[in-house]
């Protein structure tokens, strides 16, 4: 089979997968709009969507449910792409912004802000992604420096282990910080940390959207570069400093994506792991296929997790992050048991 035909086959397959995923996403979207504390029938939802709803229906759908759904979609997309990039760059199939400590760094910045600024209502939600970005980049820089040796470059094992160490340290610090809060602040942070999509208002959608709009095309555009990393060390050395620059750029995209998502959604782990892995199963290892597909899978997964978490129990919500961890944790361990790393 010539490479060209092979590529065309792949492309066809990817297109079919993307269409199928879009249909699934649409169905989940409708389901998600129907379910919640107050039930709405599909016809009611449709009528409300097209402007014919009662004021009550309008309020529920447009002010409570839709922003939350949009955030779940955006965050799922962002985290899954970040995970795919990190896996490509680190050449470790188990890398994930949560495991690598980038989410913890972003989270620490947000918690520090809440602790030092009691007037957080005055802080615009636009500000949160910026803060998280600073934290995320600080964490990434520390991990990168720790994994880097002058004559030998970056090692994947060192990268992963430094990330784990940093995450453990930040979590210890975070527990201490949260203890000094008053119960109100504490509940806010605890809910946020567990990864509930708490920013269920359009303000947060607007805060997150620009980041995704800029970073998503950047990631798609750079996706091909990731294939080079999987070729191995010799090729990487051959390409030299060019590759180092690409690696840095990709890392920046990944960190910015995960940090801006964490600012809105809190600690949602494992999406960055699940998305790319399922995508690889579906469309093979090439990143120009993996990235768009994993973005869709991440969005659908988080939407389902949020929907289930919000309807499973009558009088309480299970944060989406907890739902994702319940599914993602065992899957991660399964992958780990099969991996050769």
Partner 1 sequence: MTRSTFVKGRQTSPKEEIWSRPYAALLIIIGGLVLLLAGLAFSVAKGSRQIPLDVVWQAIVAFNPANQDHQVIWELRLPRAIAGALVGAAFAVAGALMQGMTRNPLADPGLLGVNAGAGFMLALCFAFFPGMSFNQLIMFSFIGAAVSVVIVYGIGSIAKGGLTPVRLALAGSAVAAMLVALSEGIALYFRISQDLAFWYAGGVAGVTWSQVDILWPWIAGALIGALLLSRSITILSLGDDVASGLGQRTGLVRLGAVLVVMVLAGASVSTVGAIGFIGLMIPHAARALVGVDYKWVIPTSAILGALLLVFADTFGRLLNPPTEQPVSALIALIGVPYFFYVIRKKVGDNF
List interacting residues with partner 1 (CB under 8 A). 91-92, 94, 98-99, 146-147, 149, 152-153, 155-158, 160-162, 164-169, 172-173, 175-176, 178-179, 183, 186-187, 190-191, 193-195, 232-233, 269-270, 313, 316, 318-319, 321-322, 324-326, 328-330, 332-333, 336-341
With respect to partner 1, which residue has the nearer C-beta, 279 or 324? 324
Residue 40 and residue 219: Cα distance in Å, rounded? Answer: 37
Task: Please report how close the Cβ of residue 206 comes to partner 1 at its closest, in angstroms.
Answer: 27
CB atoms within 10 A of CB 271: 35
With respect to partner 1, which residue has the nearer C-beta, 40 or 264? 264
Q: Cα torsion at 181, 163, 93, 225 (round to 10°)?
A: 110
Q: In which region does residue 318 sit, left (phi positive, over 0), alpha (psi from -120 to 50) or beta (all else)?
A: beta
Q: Cα torsion at 100, 271, 134, 102 (round to 10°)?
A: -10
With respect to partner 1, which residue has the nearer C-beta, 138 or 194? 194
With respect to partner 1, which residue has the nearer C-beta, 40 or 94? 94
With respect to partner 1, which residue has the nearer C-beta, 28 or 167? 167
With respect to partner 1, which residue has the nearer C-beta, 135 or 195? 195
Residues 6+ apart with CB under 8 A from 292: 14, 18, 220
Task: Please report how close the Cβ of residue 43 comes to partner 1 at its closest, in angstroms.
Answer: 33
Nearest Cα to 272, choosing from 252, 257, 250, 288?
257
Residue 159 and residue 207: Cα distance in Å, rounded? Answer: 30
Phi, psi of 110 (to 5 degrees): -65, -45
With respect to partner 1, which residue has the nearer C-beta, 162 or 294? 162
With respect to partner 1, which residue has the nearer C-beta, 58 or 171? 171
CB 101 within 8 A of CB 258: no
Residue 244 and residue 153: Cα distance in Å, rounded? Answer: 9
Task: Please report how close the Cβ of residue 139 comes to partner 1 at its closest, in angstroms.
Answer: 11
Task: Please report how close the Cβ of residue 172 comes to partner 1 at its closest, in angstroms.
Answer: 4
Task: Please report how close the Cβ of residue 236 comes to partner 1 at its closest, in angstroms.
Answer: 9
Task: Please report how close the Cβ of residue 156 comes to partner 1 at its closest, in angstroms.
Answer: 5
Nearest Cα to 264, choosing from 310, 314, 212?
212
Residue 329 and residue 181: Cα distance in Å, rounded? Answer: 30
Task: Please report how close the Cβ of residue 49 comes to partner 1 at its closest, in angstroms.
Answer: 32
Nearest Cα to 215, choosing from 245, 247, 259, 246?
259
Secondary structure in 3-state letters for 107-140: HHHHHHHHHHCCCCCCCCCCHHHHHHHHHHHHHH
Task: Please report how close the Cβ of residue 261 comes to partner 1 at its closest, in angstroms.
Answer: 17
């Amino acid at each position: 089979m010539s490479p060209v035909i092979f590529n065309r086959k792949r492309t066809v397959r990817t297109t079919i997968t993307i269409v199928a995923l879009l249909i699934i996403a649409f169905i989940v979207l409708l389901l998600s709009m129907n379910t919640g504390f107050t039930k709405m029938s599909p016809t009611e939802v449709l009528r409300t969507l097209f402007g014919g709803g009662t004021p009550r229906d309008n309020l529920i759908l447009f002010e409570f449910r839709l922003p939350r759904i949009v955030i779940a979609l955006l965050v799922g997309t962002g985290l899954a792409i970040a995970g795919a990039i990190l896996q490509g760059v680190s050449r470790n199939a188990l890398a994930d912004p949560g495991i690598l400590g980038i989410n913890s760094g972003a989270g620490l910045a947000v918690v520090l802000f809440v602790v030092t600024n009691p007037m957080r209502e005055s802080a615009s939600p636009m500000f949160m992604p910026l803060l998280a970005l600073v934290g995320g980049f600080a964490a990434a820089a520390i991990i990168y420096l720790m994994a880097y040796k002058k004559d030998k470059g970056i090692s994947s094992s060192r990268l992963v282990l430094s990330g784990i160490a940093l995450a453990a340290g930040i979590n210890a610090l975070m527990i201490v910080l949260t203890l000094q809060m008053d119960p109100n602040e504490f509940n806010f942070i605890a809910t946020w940390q567990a990864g509930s999509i708490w920013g269920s208002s359009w303000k947060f959608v607007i805060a997150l959207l620009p980041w995704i709009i800029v970073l998503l095309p950047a990631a798609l555009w750079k996706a091909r570069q990731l294939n080079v990393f999987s070729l191995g060390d010799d090729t990487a050395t051959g390409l030299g400093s060019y590759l180092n620059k690409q690696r840095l750029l990709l890392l920046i995209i990944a960190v910015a994506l995960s940090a801006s998502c964490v600012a809105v959604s809190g600690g949602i782990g494992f999406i960055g792991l699940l998305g790319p892995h399922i995508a690889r199963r579906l469309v093979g290892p090439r990143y120009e296929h993996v990235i768009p597909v994993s973005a869709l899978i991440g969005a659908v997964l988080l939407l389902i997790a949020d929907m289930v978490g919000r309807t499973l129990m009558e009088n309480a919500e299970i944060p989406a992050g907890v739902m994702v961890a319940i599914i993602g944790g065992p899957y991660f361990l399964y992958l780990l048991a099969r991996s050769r790393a």
